[in-house]
Structure 1
Amino acid sequence: METINNFLAQLAGLTMLQIALISILVIAVWFLPAMIAVVLNPSHAKYILVACIPAGFSLIAWSGLLVWACTGKVFERYKDKVKSDIKAT
């Protein structure tokens, strides 16, 4: 209980600017997979954006979205390579 009281006391001492900066930082980290997906996986960016909302509550789901956002073009590149290898055989 003392830990909660200490946290609330520190929170009460923050200025509005500090609260705004912390809020912006939390939102940026929460939607980081969506921001990465816009660059690396634009075909799935809207799905990743929607999935970020509930996934922010789970570190495992958020990590999965981060992997999905980062690997979009990698799968396309290897898919084309596999198709060309299959045609060659």
Structure 2
Amino acid sequence: MEFINEIVANENYAFLVVLVIGGLTLWFLPAILALFFNRKHFKYILLACIPAGFSFIAWGGVIVWATTGKVIGKYANKVNAES
């Protein structure tokens, strides 16, 4: 807490903006990854990011969901082709 008080007291607003942008980017990283890997579920992943940011385990689950979208479809098509 002392670190935050020191930043605010120094009125280093550029650093605060960078911290906020970095925090939001990390918070919504699963949604950013979903744009590339799981576009079909992007809006659901974006909504799931909001509460999942409070729990590292839930956030990790959303990251897995965001990055495995095309992989699941790829293997499902492979299994259907072999049957």
What is the TM-score of this pair, normalised by structure 2?
0.90
The match for 2:3 is 7
Aligned to 1:45: 42
Residue deviations 1:5-57, cap 9 Å, x none?
x3354233351111111000000000000001011100001100000000000
Q: Tell me the equivalent position of 2:65.
A: 68
Structure 1 unaligned spans of 5+: none
**Corresponding residue number in structure 1 for 2:23:** 26
After superposing on structure 2, the runs of 4+ consecutive aligned residues of structure 1 that deviate more than 2 Å are 6-14
Cα RMSD of the aligned pairs, angstroms, is 1.3
Q: Which amino acid counterpart does residue 59 of structure 1 have in structure 2?
A: F
Larger Rg: 1
Letter paired with 1:7: F
- For normalisation by structure 1, the TM-score amounts to 0.84
CA distance in 1, matches of 2:15, 2:6: 12
